[in-house]
Chain A
Protein backbone atom coordinates (compact mmCIF):
# COMPACT_ATOMS: atom_id res chain seq x y z
CA UNK A 1 0.00 0.00 0.00
CA UNK A 2 2.91 2.36 0.71
CA UNK A 3 3.97 2.11 -2.91
CA UNK A 4 0.41 2.89 -3.98
CA UNK A 5 0.26 5.88 -1.63
CA UNK A 6 3.36 7.32 -3.22
CA UNK A 7 1.76 6.91 -6.62
CA UNK A 8 -1.40 8.66 -5.40
CA UNK A 9 0.63 11.64 -4.15
CA UNK A 10 2.51 11.82 -7.42
CA UNK A 11 -0.80 11.80 -9.24
CA UNK A 12 -2.02 14.67 -7.04
CA UNK A 13 1.15 16.61 -7.81
CA UNK A 14 0.77 15.96 -11.52
CA UNK A 15 4.10 14.16 -11.60
CA UNK A 16 3.03 10.83 -13.03
CA UNK A 17 3.67 10.25 -16.74
CA UNK A 18 0.34 10.08 -18.67
CA UNK A 19 0.46 6.33 -19.24
CA UNK A 20 1.15 5.61 -15.54
CA UNK A 21 -1.59 8.03 -14.50
CA UNK A 22 -4.06 6.28 -16.81
CA UNK A 23 -3.09 2.85 -15.42
CA UNK A 24 -3.54 4.07 -11.86
CA UNK A 25 -6.96 5.54 -12.63
CA UNK A 26 -7.97 2.22 -14.15
CA UNK A 27 -6.85 0.38 -11.03
CA UNK A 28 -8.88 2.78 -8.90
CA UNK A 29 -12.00 1.84 -10.83
CA UNK A 30 -11.41 -1.78 -9.90
CA UNK A 31 -10.15 -1.26 -6.32
CA UNK A 32 -12.57 0.71 -4.10
CA UNK A 33 -10.06 1.06 -1.23
CA UNK A 34 -7.53 2.68 -3.53
CA UNK A 35 -10.24 4.97 -4.88
CA UNK A 36 -11.28 5.92 -1.34
CA UNK A 37 -7.70 6.73 -0.39
CA UNK A 38 -7.36 8.98 -3.40
CA UNK A 39 -10.71 10.68 -2.78
CA UNK A 40 -9.85 11.41 0.85
CA UNK A 41 -6.47 12.85 -0.10
CA UNK A 42 -8.03 14.89 -2.87
CA UNK A 43 -10.68 16.17 -0.51
CA UNK A 44 -8.12 17.32 2.06
CA UNK A 45 -6.14 19.11 -0.64
CA UNK A 46 -9.30 20.65 -2.06
CA UNK A 47 -10.31 21.98 1.37
CA UNK A 48 -6.90 23.60 1.78
CA UNK A 49 -6.80 25.08 -1.68
CA UNK A 50 -10.32 26.48 -1.41
CA UNK A 51 -9.79 27.94 2.03
CA UNK A 52 -8.30 31.07 0.47
CA UNK A 53 -5.93 33.63 1.86
CA UNK A 54 -6.62 35.36 5.13
CA UNK A 55 -6.55 39.06 4.37
CA UNK A 56 -4.26 41.27 6.41
CA UNK A 57 -5.98 43.74 8.76
CA UNK A 58 -6.97 47.03 7.11
CA UNK A 59 -4.49 49.05 9.12
CA UNK A 60 -1.60 46.69 8.35
CA UNK A 61 0.37 48.82 5.88
CA UNK A 62 0.11 52.09 7.86
CA UNK A 63 1.24 50.26 10.97
CA UNK A 64 4.29 48.85 9.19
CA UNK A 65 5.13 52.24 7.72
CA UNK A 66 4.93 53.90 11.12
CA UNK A 67 7.26 51.28 12.59
CA UNK A 68 9.99 51.69 9.95
CA UNK A 69 13.16 53.45 11.00
CA UNK A 70 13.76 56.88 9.53
CA UNK A 71 15.73 56.72 6.29
CA UNK A 72 18.91 58.67 5.77
CA UNK A 73 17.17 61.07 3.40
CA UNK A 74 14.66 61.92 6.07
CA UNK A 75 17.20 62.98 8.67
CA UNK A 76 18.17 66.61 8.98
CA UNK A 77 21.75 67.83 9.19
CA UNK A 78 22.61 69.50 12.49
CA UNK A 79 24.37 72.83 12.80
CA UNK A 80 26.80 73.39 15.66
CA UNK A 81 26.19 76.46 17.77
CA UNK A 82 28.50 79.37 16.95
CA UNK A 83 29.42 78.14 13.50
CA UNK A 84 28.21 79.72 10.28
CA UNK A 85 26.02 77.41 8.30
CA UNK A 86 27.81 75.77 5.43
CA UNK A 87 26.39 75.16 1.99
CA UNK A 88 25.30 71.73 3.18
CA UNK A 89 23.55 73.31 6.13
CA UNK A 90 21.56 75.57 3.81
CA UNK A 91 20.56 72.47 1.90
CA UNK A 92 19.38 71.11 5.22
CA UNK A 93 17.26 74.19 5.90
CA UNK A 94 15.86 74.06 2.41
CA UNK A 95 15.05 70.37 2.82
CA UNK A 96 13.39 71.10 6.14
CA UNK A 97 10.95 73.54 4.58
CA UNK A 98 10.46 72.04 1.15
CA UNK A 99 11.11 68.32 1.35
CA UNK A 100 8.21 65.99 0.59
CA UNK A 101 6.10 64.91 3.54
CA UNK A 102 3.14 62.70 4.12
CA UNK A 103 0.68 64.06 6.66
CA UNK A 104 -0.69 61.43 9.02
CA UNK A 105 -3.71 62.63 10.92
CA UNK A 106 -3.32 61.05 14.28
CA UNK A 107 -4.30 63.42 17.06
CA UNK A 108 -0.84 64.65 18.05
CA UNK A 109 0.40 65.05 14.51
CA UNK A 110 -2.84 66.71 13.46
CA UNK A 111 -2.73 69.27 16.26
CA UNK A 112 0.89 70.13 15.56
CA UNK A 113 0.29 70.36 11.85
CA UNK A 114 -2.91 72.31 12.20
CA UNK A 115 -1.12 74.82 14.42
CA UNK A 116 1.69 75.29 11.91
CA UNK A 117 -0.69 75.38 8.99
CA UNK A 118 -2.91 78.00 10.59
CA UNK A 119 0.04 80.21 11.55
CA UNK A 120 1.69 80.02 8.17
CA UNK A 121 -1.26 79.73 5.85
CA UNK A 122 -3.82 81.73 7.79
CA UNK A 123 -2.03 84.97 7.10
CA UNK A 124 -1.53 84.17 3.47
CA UNK A 125 -5.15 83.23 2.94
CA UNK A 126 -6.38 86.35 4.68
CA UNK A 127 -4.52 88.49 2.14
CA UNK A 128 -5.48 86.42 -0.84
CA UNK A 129 -9.16 85.66 -0.70
CA UNK A 130 -9.01 84.47 -4.28
CA UNK A 131 -6.98 81.48 -3.07
CA UNK A 132 -10.01 80.11 -1.23
CA UNK A 133 -10.42 76.50 -2.26
CA UNK A 134 -13.69 75.07 -3.46
CA UNK A 135 -13.08 72.22 -0.97
CA UNK A 136 -13.33 74.45 2.08
CA UNK A 137 -16.44 76.02 3.51
CA UNK A 138 -17.20 78.89 5.86
CA UNK A 139 -18.13 76.75 8.85
CA UNK A 140 -14.54 76.37 10.08
CA UNK A 141 -10.94 77.33 9.40
CA UNK A 142 -9.48 75.49 6.47
CA UNK A 143 -6.12 73.86 6.98
CA UNK A 144 -3.92 72.41 4.31
CA UNK A 145 -3.72 68.66 4.01
CA UNK A 146 -0.94 67.34 1.82
CA UNK A 147 -1.55 64.05 0.07
CA UNK A 148 1.21 62.00 -1.39
CA UNK A 149 1.23 58.88 -3.53
CA UNK A 150 4.12 56.93 -5.00
CA UNK A 151 3.57 55.54 -8.48
CA UNK A 152 6.65 55.71 -10.72
CA UNK A 153 4.92 54.25 -13.78
CA UNK A 154 1.82 56.46 -13.73
CA UNK A 155 1.28 59.06 -16.44
CA UNK A 156 -1.35 60.91 -14.42
CA UNK A 157 -2.61 60.65 -10.85
CA UNK A 158 -5.64 62.39 -9.36
CA UNK A 159 -7.29 62.38 -5.99
CA UNK A 160 -11.04 61.98 -5.67
CA UNK A 161 -12.97 62.22 -2.46
CA UNK A 162 -15.74 63.75 -0.43
CA UNK A 163 -13.99 67.11 -0.63
CA UNK A 164 -14.24 67.40 -4.43
CA UNK A 165 -17.42 65.37 -4.95
CA UNK A 166 -15.28 62.51 -6.30
CA UNK A 167 -14.48 64.53 -9.38
CA UNK A 168 -11.04 63.41 -10.57
CA UNK A 169 -10.72 66.49 -12.80
CA UNK A 170 -10.62 68.68 -9.70
CA UNK A 171 -7.86 66.76 -7.98
CA UNK A 172 -4.99 66.44 -10.44
CA UNK A 173 -1.77 65.74 -8.55
CA UNK A 174 1.68 67.00 -9.47
CA UNK A 175 4.55 64.65 -10.13
CA UNK A 176 7.66 65.30 -8.09
CA UNK A 177 10.95 63.45 -8.20
CA UNK A 178 11.02 59.96 -9.60
CA UNK A 179 7.42 59.02 -9.10
CA UNK A 180 5.94 60.76 -6.10
CA UNK A 181 2.67 62.57 -6.75
CA UNK A 182 1.47 65.27 -4.39
CA UNK A 183 -1.38 67.69 -3.89
CA UNK A 184 -2.29 70.15 -1.16
CA UNK A 185 -5.94 70.64 -0.35
CA UNK A 186 -7.36 73.11 2.19
CA UNK A 187 -9.93 71.24 4.26
CA UNK A 188 -12.19 72.24 7.09
CA UNK A 189 -12.20 69.96 10.16
CA UNK A 190 -13.86 66.61 9.60
CA UNK A 191 -13.31 63.15 8.16
CA UNK A 192 -13.04 62.70 4.42
CA UNK A 193 -13.07 59.56 2.27
CA UNK A 194 -10.77 59.59 -0.72
CA UNK A 195 -8.92 57.45 -3.24
CA UNK A 196 -6.17 57.97 -5.77
CA UNK A 197 -6.93 57.48 -9.45
CA UNK A 198 -4.06 56.37 -11.66
CA UNK A 199 -4.17 57.20 -15.37
CA UNK A 200 -7.83 58.09 -15.17
CA UNK A 201 -9.28 54.67 -14.49
CA UNK A 202 -7.38 52.68 -11.83
CA UNK A 203 -8.70 53.47 -8.35
CA UNK A 204 -6.15 52.85 -5.61
CA UNK A 205 -6.52 53.02 -1.85
CA UNK A 206 -3.85 55.11 -0.15
CA UNK A 207 -1.47 52.56 1.43
CA UNK A 208 -0.53 55.16 4.02
CA UNK A 209 -3.98 56.30 5.02
CA UNK A 210 -4.70 56.71 8.69
CA UNK A 211 -7.88 54.66 8.42
CA UNK A 212 -10.04 52.87 5.89
CA UNK A 213 -13.75 52.53 5.36
CA UNK A 214 -15.71 50.07 3.19
CA UNK A 215 -17.31 51.83 0.27
CA UNK A 216 -20.16 49.33 -0.04
CA UNK A 217 -18.91 48.06 -3.41
CA UNK A 218 -16.24 45.70 -2.11
CA UNK A 219 -13.45 48.27 -2.01
CA UNK A 220 -12.06 50.35 0.81
CA UNK A 221 -11.81 54.11 0.83
CA UNK A 222 -8.91 55.86 2.49
CA UNK A 223 -9.90 58.23 5.26
CA UNK A 224 -8.19 61.43 6.35
CA UNK A 225 -9.25 63.21 9.51
CA UNK A 226 -8.68 66.90 9.97
CA UNK A 227 -9.10 68.11 13.51
CA UNK A 228 -9.94 71.59 14.70
CA UNK A 229 -7.68 73.48 17.07
Chain B
Protein backbone atom coordinates (compact mmCIF):
# COMPACT_ATOMS: atom_id res chain seq x y z
CA UNK B 1 0.00 0.00 0.00
CA UNK B 2 1.33 3.44 -0.89
CA UNK B 3 2.15 5.50 2.17
CA UNK B 4 -0.08 8.37 1.08
CA UNK B 5 -3.09 6.15 0.38
CA UNK B 6 -4.81 6.37 3.74
CA UNK B 7 -4.52 10.16 3.62
CA UNK B 8 -6.05 10.28 0.15
CA UNK B 9 -8.84 7.87 1.07
CA UNK B 10 -9.66 9.97 4.15
CA UNK B 11 -9.74 13.10 1.98
CA UNK B 12 -12.11 11.42 -0.48
CA UNK B 13 -14.37 10.10 2.28
CA UNK B 14 -14.55 13.68 3.61
CA UNK B 15 -15.90 14.85 0.26
CA UNK B 16 -12.75 15.94 -1.60
CA UNK B 17 -13.61 14.44 -4.95
CA UNK B 18 -10.46 15.70 -6.68
CA UNK B 19 -8.24 13.52 -4.49
CA UNK B 20 -9.88 10.41 -5.89
CA UNK B 21 -8.32 11.03 -9.30
CA UNK B 22 -4.94 10.03 -7.84
CA UNK B 23 -6.31 6.62 -6.86
CA UNK B 24 -8.07 6.08 -10.18
CA UNK B 25 -4.92 6.97 -12.12
CA UNK B 26 -2.88 4.65 -9.90
CA UNK B 27 -5.11 1.59 -10.23
CA UNK B 28 -6.84 2.05 -13.57
CA UNK B 29 -4.60 -0.37 -15.50
CA UNK B 30 -4.84 -3.02 -12.77
CA UNK B 31 -8.63 -2.94 -12.73
CA UNK B 32 -9.13 -2.46 -16.45
CA UNK B 33 -6.80 -5.38 -17.19
CA UNK B 34 -8.59 -7.64 -14.72
CA UNK B 35 -11.95 -6.76 -16.25
CA UNK B 36 -10.61 -7.20 -19.77
CA UNK B 37 -9.17 -10.63 -18.97
CA UNK B 38 -12.40 -11.69 -17.32
CA UNK B 39 -14.73 -10.39 -20.03
CA UNK B 40 -12.58 -10.55 -23.17
CA UNK B 41 -14.15 -7.36 -24.48
CA UNK B 42 -12.58 -3.91 -24.35
CA UNK B 43 -15.80 -1.89 -24.20
CA UNK B 44 -17.36 -4.06 -21.52
CA UNK B 45 -14.10 -4.00 -19.56
CA UNK B 46 -14.06 -0.21 -19.71
CA UNK B 47 -17.64 0.00 -18.44
CA UNK B 48 -17.10 -2.52 -15.65
CA UNK B 49 -13.81 -0.94 -14.57
CA UNK B 50 -15.41 2.50 -14.45
CA UNK B 51 -18.36 1.13 -12.50
CA UNK B 52 -15.89 -0.45 -10.12
CA UNK B 53 -14.23 2.89 -9.35
CA UNK B 54 -17.58 4.66 -9.01
CA UNK B 55 -18.90 1.99 -6.62
CA UNK B 56 -15.68 2.14 -4.63
CA UNK B 57 -15.97 5.93 -4.35
CA UNK B 58 -19.56 5.67 -3.13
CA UNK B 59 -18.53 3.09 -0.54
CA UNK B 60 -15.26 4.62 0.63
CA UNK B 61 -16.65 5.22 4.09
CA UNK B 62 -16.99 1.45 4.48
CA UNK B 63 -13.40 0.73 3.45
CA UNK B 64 -11.43 -0.72 6.33
CA UNK B 65 -7.99 0.81 6.44
CA UNK B 66 -6.52 -2.39 7.88
CA UNK B 67 -6.81 -4.00 4.44
CA UNK B 68 -5.16 -3.15 1.15
CA UNK B 69 -7.04 -0.74 -1.06
CA UNK B 70 -6.00 -2.72 -4.14
CA UNK B 71 -7.47 -5.93 -2.65
CA UNK B 72 -10.73 -4.14 -2.02
CA UNK B 73 -10.80 -2.76 -5.57
CA UNK B 74 -10.06 -6.20 -7.03
CA UNK B 75 -12.97 -7.74 -5.16
CA UNK B 76 -15.37 -5.03 -6.38
CA UNK B 77 -14.14 -5.49 -9.95
CA UNK B 78 -14.52 -9.27 -9.82
CA UNK B 79 -18.07 -8.93 -8.50
CA UNK B 80 -18.93 -6.46 -11.27
CA UNK B 81 -17.58 -8.90 -13.84
CA UNK B 82 -19.53 -11.78 -12.34
CA UNK B 83 -22.74 -9.75 -12.51
CA UNK B 84 -22.01 -8.77 -16.09
CA UNK B 85 -21.26 -12.35 -17.17
CA UNK B 86 -24.37 -13.63 -15.41
CA UNK B 87 -26.56 -11.30 -17.47
CA UNK B 88 -24.67 -11.66 -20.71
CA UNK B 89 -24.10 -14.33 -23.28
CA UNK B 90 -23.84 -18.03 -22.43
CA UNK B 91 -20.38 -19.29 -21.63
CA UNK B 92 -18.09 -19.87 -24.63
CA UNK B 93 -17.80 -23.59 -25.14
CA UNK B 94 -14.45 -25.28 -25.52
CA UNK B 95 -15.35 -26.36 -29.04
CA UNK B 96 -15.57 -22.74 -30.08
CA UNK B 97 -11.96 -22.07 -29.29
CA UNK B 98 -10.52 -23.95 -32.25
CA UNK B 99 -12.30 -21.64 -34.65
CA UNK B 100 -11.02 -18.54 -32.89
CA UNK B 101 -7.52 -19.90 -32.62
CA UNK B 102 -7.29 -21.00 -36.23
CA UNK B 103 -8.84 -17.88 -37.70
CA UNK B 104 -5.61 -16.50 -39.11
CA UNK B 105 -2.34 -17.95 -40.26
CA UNK B 106 1.22 -17.02 -39.42
CA UNK B 107 2.60 -13.73 -40.65
CA UNK B 108 6.11 -12.34 -41.09
CA UNK B 109 4.98 -9.16 -39.39
CA UNK B 110 6.12 -9.64 -35.81
CA UNK B 111 3.73 -7.10 -34.36
CA UNK B 112 0.76 -8.69 -36.03
CA UNK B 113 1.92 -12.10 -34.90
CA UNK B 114 2.18 -10.89 -31.31
CA UNK B 115 -1.34 -9.55 -31.53
CA UNK B 116 -2.55 -12.89 -32.80
CA UNK B 117 -0.84 -14.64 -29.89
CA UNK B 118 -2.46 -12.17 -27.49
CA UNK B 119 -5.85 -12.81 -29.08
CA UNK B 120 -5.41 -16.53 -28.71
CA UNK B 121 -4.37 -16.25 -25.09
CA UNK B 122 -7.50 -14.21 -24.45
CA UNK B 123 -9.63 -16.68 -26.42
CA UNK B 124 -8.23 -19.49 -24.28
CA UNK B 125 -9.03 -17.54 -21.11
CA UNK B 126 -12.55 -16.91 -22.37
CA UNK B 127 -13.00 -20.66 -22.74
CA UNK B 128 -12.28 -21.36 -19.06
CA UNK B 129 -15.09 -21.63 -16.54
CA UNK B 130 -15.39 -18.32 -14.71
CA UNK B 131 -14.09 -19.59 -11.38
CA UNK B 132 -10.96 -21.01 -13.04
CA UNK B 133 -10.49 -17.82 -15.08
CA UNK B 134 -10.69 -15.64 -11.96
CA UNK B 135 -8.03 -17.74 -10.27
CA UNK B 136 -5.70 -17.89 -13.27
CA UNK B 137 -6.00 -14.18 -14.10
CA UNK B 138 -5.25 -13.07 -10.54
CA UNK B 139 -2.47 -15.61 -10.09
CA UNK B 140 -0.62 -15.42 -13.39
CA UNK B 141 -1.52 -12.11 -15.01
CA UNK B 142 -1.94 -9.92 -11.94
CA UNK B 143 0.80 -11.87 -10.13
CA UNK B 144 -0.96 -12.26 -6.78
CA UNK B 145 -0.30 -14.96 -4.20
CA UNK B 146 -2.97 -17.34 -2.94
CA UNK B 147 -3.26 -15.47 0.36
CA UNK B 148 -4.25 -12.23 -1.32
CA UNK B 149 -6.53 -14.08 -3.70
CA UNK B 150 -8.37 -15.47 -0.66
CA UNK B 151 -9.20 -11.94 0.44
CA UNK B 152 -10.42 -10.94 -3.01
CA UNK B 153 -12.47 -13.97 -3.95
CA UNK B 154 -13.63 -15.05 -0.50
CA UNK B 155 -12.51 -18.62 -1.15
CA UNK B 156 -9.91 -20.46 0.89
CA UNK B 157 -6.43 -20.98 -0.53
CA UNK B 158 -6.83 -24.75 -0.89
CA UNK B 159 -9.82 -24.39 -3.19
CA UNK B 160 -8.09 -21.62 -5.13
CA UNK B 161 -5.10 -23.86 -5.77
CA UNK B 162 -7.39 -26.52 -7.18
CA UNK B 163 -9.07 -23.97 -9.47
CA UNK B 164 -5.72 -22.61 -10.60
CA UNK B 165 -4.35 -26.10 -11.28
CA UNK B 166 -7.42 -27.07 -13.30
CA UNK B 167 -7.35 -23.80 -15.17
CA UNK B 168 -3.70 -24.35 -16.04
CA UNK B 169 -4.43 -27.87 -17.25
CA UNK B 170 -7.10 -26.53 -19.60
CA UNK B 171 -4.86 -23.72 -20.83
CA UNK B 172 -2.06 -26.20 -21.42
CA UNK B 173 -4.25 -27.99 -23.93
CA UNK B 174 -5.64 -24.81 -25.47
CA UNK B 175 -2.29 -23.12 -25.91
CA UNK B 176 -0.35 -25.99 -27.40
CA UNK B 177 2.48 -24.82 -29.62
CA UNK B 178 1.01 -26.06 -32.90
CA UNK B 179 -2.15 -23.93 -32.48
CA UNK B 180 -0.08 -20.85 -31.63
CA UNK B 181 1.94 -21.36 -34.79
CA UNK B 182 -1.28 -21.17 -36.75
CA UNK B 183 -1.40 -24.81 -37.68
CA UNK B 184 -3.93 -25.89 -35.09
Contact = CB atoms under 8 A, between A and B. Distances in A.
A152 B36 CA distance: 32
Nearest to A180: B18
Interface string A50-86: 0101111100110111011111111000000000000
Contacts, number: 131
B63 interface: no
Contacts of A69: 57-58
Contacts of B117: 47
A45 B171 CA distance: 8
B175 to A, nearest CB: 5
Contact of B121 (A51, A65, A68, A153): A51
A57 B28 CA distance: 9
B72 to A, nearest CB: 16
A150 B21 contact: yes
A72 B24 contact: no
Contact of B171 (A44, A67, A68, A102): A44
B107 interface: no
B141 A53 contact: yes
Contacts of A63: 50
Interface string B47-66: 00110011001100000000
B140 interface: yes
A49 interface: yes
Interface residues on B, range: 35 or more
A60 B24 contact: yes
Interface string A139-172: 0000000001011110000000000000000000
Contact of B141 (A6, A49, A152): A49
Contacts of B113: none
A71 B12 CA distance: 9
B15 A72 contact: yes
A56 B140 contact: no
Interface in A1-34: 5-6, 9, 12-13
Given A65-B24, A208-B18, A60 B172 contact: no
Contacts of A70: 17
Most A CB atoms within 10 A — which of B8, B25, B28, B58? B25
B11 interface: yes
Nearest to B12: A71
A55 B21 CA distance: 17
Contact of B20 (A68, A102, A179): A68
Interface in B1-54: 3-4, 7-8, 11, 14-22, 24-25, 28-33, 36-37, 42, 45-46, 49-50, 53-54
A45 B168 contact: yes
Contacts of B3: 153
B105 to A, nearest CB: 19
B25 A54 contact: no
B165 interface: yes
B46 A67 contact: no
B33 A53 contact: yes
6 contacts: A150-B21, A153-B4, A179-B11, A179-B19, A205-B25, A207-B25
Interface of A: 5-6, 9, 12-13, 40-41, 43-45, 47-49, 51, 53-57, 60-61, 63-65, 67-74, 100, 102, 148, 150-153, 178-180, 205, 207-208
